[in-house]
Amino acid sequence: MAKIDEVAKAAGVSISTVSYALSGKRPVSAETRTRIEAAVLELDYHPNAGARMLAGSRTNIFALTEPFRGDTHAPTHMSFVLAASIAARRNDYDLLLLTQEDSSRGMSRVASSGLVDGILVLDVAPADERVALARRIDIPTVFIGVPDDHEGLVCVDLDFEAAAALAVQRLADAGHRSVGLIGQPAIAYDNSNFPPRVRRGFDAQADECGLDAQFRTSGSVRPDAITTRRGTAELLDAGVTGLVVHASEEAIREVLAEVGERGLSIPADVSVISVASSFDAASLAPPLDDIPLIPQRSCDVAVDLALRALEANPPAPSVHLIAPEYHSRGSVGSVREGPEDTAR
Amino acid sequence: MAKIDEVAKAAGVSISTVSYALSGKRPVSAETRTRIEAAVLELDYHPNAGARMLAGSRTNIFALTEPFRGDTHAPTHMSFVLAASIAARRNDYDLLLLTQEDSSRGMSRVASSGLVDGILVLDVAPADERVALARRIDIPTVFIGVPDDHEGLVCVDLDFEAAAALAVQRLADAGHRSVGLIGQPAIAYDNSNFPPRVRRGFDAQADECGLDAQFRTSGSVRPDAITTRRGTAELLDAGVTGLVVHASEEAIREVLAEVGERGLSIPADVSVISVASSFDAASLAPPLDDIPLIPQRSCDVAVDLALRALEANPPAPSVHLIAPEYHSRGSVGSVREGPEDTAR
DNA sequence: TTGAAAGCGCTACCAG
DNA sequence: CTGGTAGCGCTTTCAA
C-alpha cells in the first residue's frame, strides 16, 4: 500500500507532480514522467480510492439499479448488467449494484453520500418509482428504457416502436395482408416498458398499411409452451401469413414447432420475423430475420450520456432511441396468391 | 449536502459528538442524541462516503466478482447476486460489481486502491484463476463455491456431496437397487465447481449402499430436451427405478414428461428426487421431493464470514459446508417387487 | 515545467 | 459524557 509521497520521493519529484503525471491534467516533461511511471511500477502504487473521492470531484463509480424481480427474463437482464459493466469499465468506472432493497432508498442513499457520480437505471417499468427520485436527486441519472412519464429525464433504448413497425412494413412489402404479433407474457405489459412499445408500433404500422392485425401473448407470467402454441395456432387458423414474434428464445421455438407441425414451411407458407431478440436468431431452425436488441449499444450510449452529464455543458434531457437494424435471413417471403384472391 | 459541522452547530454540540452519536462508538446522553438526530433529519445529513473511507478503516463496500459467462444458468446466478446484495445491505454494505474480463485485474485493482473491504467470489470454477489472487490480496475474500484447490481459502457452499448422498440414501432406504443421476449439461462439469461434487456424492453413496448407479447429462452446453429425454429413456430402459435429478427446471420437466409418456407413475413405478434445485420443486407435476440450493443461506454466511474477517480475531480459513435439507413431497416410494426377485 | 500547501469531511485519539 | 484536533491520502490552487 504505497502512498503518493513515497512515489514522489522515489522519483525525486513533488507530490503534486506525481498527481499531475498520473491524471494528465498538467503537462509533465517526458523524462520526469518516465521516472514517475517507473516508481509507480516499482512500488506497485495504486491511488487510494477514498482520498481520491474526498479530494477530487469524481468517485469513478456509477450506481446501477436493477431490481432483479423474479418474473423477469434473467438471461436478458444479465446481458444488460454485463454490458453496462463493460461500458463503465472502459471509461474507468466501477458499478455499484443496487437491487430491490427499496430501489428508491438505495438511490438517494448513494447519491446523497456522494458515493457515486451518477446512476444507471435498468429494468424500467412503465410507471417506475425511480422516475420521481431521478428528478429529485442532484446527480445525473440515465434510464435504459423509457418510462411512460419521461419528462425531463435522460433515457436510452432501442426504438421498439420503430422496430415493430419495420417488421410490419417488411411483411406488408412482401404482400402479406394479415399479420400477427406473438408478444411477451401478459404480465410484462404492466411491469416492463418495452413490450407495450412493441405492440404500439405493431398496431400503428399495421393500421398504416391497412393490414389485418392480431395479437397473442406467449404466457401469463412466464413464457409457456401451451399458451404460445395456442396463440400461434389461433393466428394461423385466422389466416395470418406474417408473424412478428417478440418473445423469448424458448417461446419462439414453440412458434416454429407449431408452424412446422402444421406442415407449413417458412417462408413459403408463413413469414416470421423476430423483433427485439437478445439471443441469436440466426441459430434457430430455420434462421429467422430479426431486429436484435443489443444491450451493448444501449449501455454504451447510457454510460456516455452519464459521463457527459458530469462535464461542463451537460446535454439536455432527452430520449435517445436507437434505430432498429433489420437482419435478413430468408424467413420472409412473398405471400402466395390464395384462393380468395383469385376467386374475386 | 449538509456536512457534519453543520449538524454539530444545529445540535449545539461538537463535531466529534455527532460522529460518535451516529456511529455509536461512544456513549452519548439520550438528550444529546435526540438533538443530534433531529438535526440530522432536519438537514438531511448523510456522511460523505469518501471522507468516511479515508478517515475510517472501513469502506462499507464489498466487491462481488461474478463473471457472467454466457453458458451459465442465468436465473440461478441472478438469485445469488440478489441474495448477496440483500445480505450485504442488511449489514450496511454495498456491492461493487466485478464482471468477466475484470475478474482478476478487477480484484487486485479494488483491493489495492482500498475501494472495498472484502471480496465475495461467485460462479467458482474448479480451477479458478481467482484462487491465486485471493491468496495474494490483503483483504478478506470469501468464495461462494468450492474450487478444487481451496487450501487456505474461506469457502461457503451447500454440501453438494452430502445432498447427493442423502438423495441416494433415501432411494436405497426405499428399496431401490438401481439408481440414475440426470446431471447438468456436460460443460458444467468443467466450468463449475458443484456439478462434479454432486456426481461424486452420488457415486460414493451408491457404492456405499451397493446400488447400481448410472449417470447421464441433460445436454452438452445448455440443457436440451433431446439429450435429457434420451438420457432418461436410457436409464429407465436399463431398469433404473430411482432417479436423482440435478438439472434446470426445464430439464426436469423433460424427465417427468418421459416418465409420463411411458405410462410410468411417480412414485409407484419410479421415484424421483431433485437435488440442489434453486426453483420450486413443489410446483412441478407431480411435486418432487427435493434438497434445495438456497442462495440466501450461502450468501448470508458468506457476508458474515467476510465481516468477521475484518474484525480483531478473524476466523481461520475453512470450507463451510451447509447441511442439505430434505423436503418430502411424496415422489419417492418403495420399490415394487419385480419378477426377478420373486423368481429367486 | 515544477513545488508547496491548503483543504476535502470525517474518524478517533487525547484531554477534560 | 463531551470537545478539540491531528491526521487519512489525495487534488488543485497559488507561486515560482
Burial of B24 (0-12, 13-18, 19+ CB in 10 A): exposed
**Res A143 pLDDT > 60:** yes
For domain B1-45, the CATH superfamily is lambda repressor-like DNA-binding domains (1.10.260.40)
Q: Give which of A285, A280, A317 is closest to A142, Cα–Cα.
A: A317
Same fold flag, A53-158+297-322 and A160-293+326-343: yes
Question: Protein B46 CA to nucleic acid D4 C1', in Å?
Answer: 23
What share of chain A in percent tops pLDDT 90?
A: 89
| Preceding omega of A185 cis (within 30 degrees of 0) | no
Distance separating alpha carbons of residues A135 and B179, to the nearest angstrom: 60
Residues 6+ apart with CB under 8 A from A21: A13, A28, A32, A33, A36, A37
Q: List all residues of chain A from 123 to 162 with a beta carbon under 8 Å from chain B.
A: 138
Number of helical (H) and strand (E) elements in chain B, helices listed first: 14, 11
Written as nine digits, the cell of A252 is 419462439
| Preceding omega of A286 cis (within 30 degrees of 0) | yes
Q: Does A112 touch chain B (CB under 8 A)?
A: yes
- Residue-wise pLDDT for B243-290, tens only, equals 999 999 999 999 999 999 999 999 999 999 999 999 999 999 999 999
**Res B329 pLDDT > 80:** yes
- Inter-chain CB proximity B49 and A250 less than 8 Å: no
| Mean pLDDT, range A162-177, rounded to an integer | 97
Q: Does B22 touch chain A (CB under 8 A)?
A: no
- Residue-wise pLDDT for B140-191, tens only, equals 999 999 999 999 999 999 999 999 999 999 999 999 999 999 999 999 999 8
Residue ranges per structural domain of chain B: 1-45, 53-158+297-322, 160-293+326-343
- Residue-wise pLDDT for B196-241, tens only, equals 999 999 999 999 999 999 999 999 998 888 999 999 999 999 999 9
User: Please, which pLDDT band fits residue B1 given cuts at 50, 70 and 90?
Assistant: confident
For the segment 21-40 of chain B, residues whose CB is within 7 A of strand C: 22-23, 25
- Residue-wise pLDDT for A255-311, tens only, equals 999 999 999 999 999 999 999 999 999 999 999 999 999 999 999 999 999 999 999
Determine the 3-state secondary structure of A247 from DSSP.
coil
| Mean pLDDT, range A22-29, rounded to an integer | 94
Q: Which CATH number fits domain A160-293+326-343: 3.90.550.10, 3.40.50.2300, 3.30.70.2520, 3.40.50.720?
A: 3.40.50.2300
Backbone angles phi, psi at B123, to 5 degrees: 50, 60
Written as nine digits, the cell of A281 is 436468431
Task: Return mean pLDDT, chain A.
Answer: 94
Q: Is the CB of A56 under 7 A from strand D?
A: yes
- Inter-chain CB proximity B53 and A52 less than 8 Å: no
Residue A312 pLDDT: 84
Question: Protein B96 CA to nucleic acid C11 C1', in Å?
Answer: 23
Residue A341 pLDDT: 43
More confident residue, B335 or A45: A45
- Inter-chain CB proximity B94 and A97 less than 8 Å: yes
Q: Is the dihedral of CA A101, A102, A105, A108 positive or negative?
A: positive
- Residue-wise pLDDT for A51-79, tens only, equals 999 999 999 999 999 998 877 889 999 99
Q: Kindly report which listed range (A97-101, A340-344, B338-342) carries the lowest average pLDDT score.
A: A340-344
Determine the 3-state secondary structure of B186 from DSSP.
coil
User: Please, which pLDDT band fits residue B102 given cuts at 50, 70 and 90?
Assistant: low
Q: Does B15 touch chain A (CB under 8 A)?
A: no
A76, B200, B225 from B86: Cα distances, Å: 22, 32, 34
Residue A337 pLDDT: 55
User: Please, which pLDDT band fits residue B313 given cuts at 50, 70 and 90?
Assistant: confident
- CB contacts of A86 in chain B (<8 Å) are 99, 101
Q: Is the CB of B15 under 7 A from strand C?
A: yes
CA of B338 vs chain A CAs: smallest distance (Å) = 37
β-pairing verdict for A319-322 and A154-158 = parallel
Q: Does B46 touch chain A (CB under 8 A)?
A: yes
- Inter-chain CB proximity A114 and B81 less than 8 Å: no
**In this structure, CATH architecture of domain B53-158+297-322:** 3-Layer(aba) Sandwich (3.40)
Q: Does A50 touch chain B (CB under 8 A)?
A: yes
**Res A108 pLDDT > 60:** yes
Residue A231 pLDDT: 97
Distance separating alpha carbons of residues A330 and B342, to the nearest angstrom: 62
Residue A340 pLDDT: 46
Question: Protein B40 CA to nucleic acid D2 C1', in Å?
Answer: 19
- Residue-wise pLDDT for A192-244, tens only, equals 999 999 999 999 999 999 999 999 999 999 888 899 999 999 999 999 999 99
| Mean pLDDT, range B93-104, rounded to an integer | 86
CA of A285 vs chain B CAs: smallest distance (Å) = 15
- Residue-wise pLDDT for B247-257, tens only, equals 999 999 999 99
**Res B344 pLDDT > 60:** no
